[in-house]
Amino acid sequence: MSVASIVFGVLFCVATVVLLGGLALRIADYARTPAPLKIPTTPAPVTRGGVVLRMVREVVFFESLFKGSLWTWLFGWLFHASLALVLARHLRYFTEPVWGWVVLVQPLGILAGFGMVAGLAGLLVRRFAVERIRYISTPSDYLMLVLLLAIAVSGLAMKYLAPTDVVGVKKFFLGLMYFDWQPLPADGVLYLHLALVAALMIVFPFSKLLHAPGVFFSPSRNQVDNPREARHLAPWAAKLDRS
Ligand code: HEM
CB 62 within 8 A of CB 73: yes
Domains of the chain, first to last: 3-235 (1.20.950.20)
Q: Residues 18, 19, 21, 27: is their CA dihedral positive or negative?
A: positive
Residue 234, pLDDT score: 76
| Cα 210 to ligand 1 centroid, rounded to whole Å | 21
CA-to-CA distance for 48 and 224, rounded, in angstroms?
Answer: 6
pLDDT at position 243 is: 63
Query: What gap in Å lies between CA 96 and CA 232, rounded to an integer?
Result: 50
- The DSSP code sequence of 115-133 is HHHHHHHHHHHHHHHSHHH
Phi, psi at residue 34, to the nearest 5°? -70, 150
Q: Return the pLDDT at 235.
A: 74
pLDDT attached to residue 116? 98
Cα–Cα–Cα angle for 236, 32, 208, nearest 5°? 135
Give, in order, the Cα–Cα distances in Å from 231 to each of 43, 55, 81, 84: 19, 23, 39, 40
How far apart are the CA of 28 and the centre of ligand 1, in A? 30
Q: Whose CA is nearest to atom 25 of ligand 1?
A: 197
SS (H, E, C) 167-200: HHHHHHHHHHHCCCCCCCCCCHHHHHHHHHHHHH
pLDDT at 239: 74
Rounded to the nearest whole angstrom, what is the distance from the C-alpha of residue 55 to the centroid of ligand 1?
A: 29
Q: Is the Cβ atom of 169 under 6 angstroms away from ligand 1?
A: yes
List the alpha helices (DSSP H) in the chain. Answer: 3-32, 48-61, 63-68, 70-90, 100-129, 131-136, 139-160, 166-177, 188-203, 211-214, 219-222, 235-242
76 touches 123 (CB < 8 A): yes
Ligand 1 pocket test, candidate residues 90, 160, 171, most atoms within 8 A of CB: 90
pTM score above 0.95: no
Mean pLDDT by runs of 10 across the 243 residues of the chain is 95 98 98 90 94 97 96 98 97 96 93 97 97 96 98 97 96 96 96 98 97 95 92 78 66
Q: Which of 10, 13, 20, 86 to mutate to test the pocket of ligand 1 (most atoms within 8 A of CB)?
A: 86
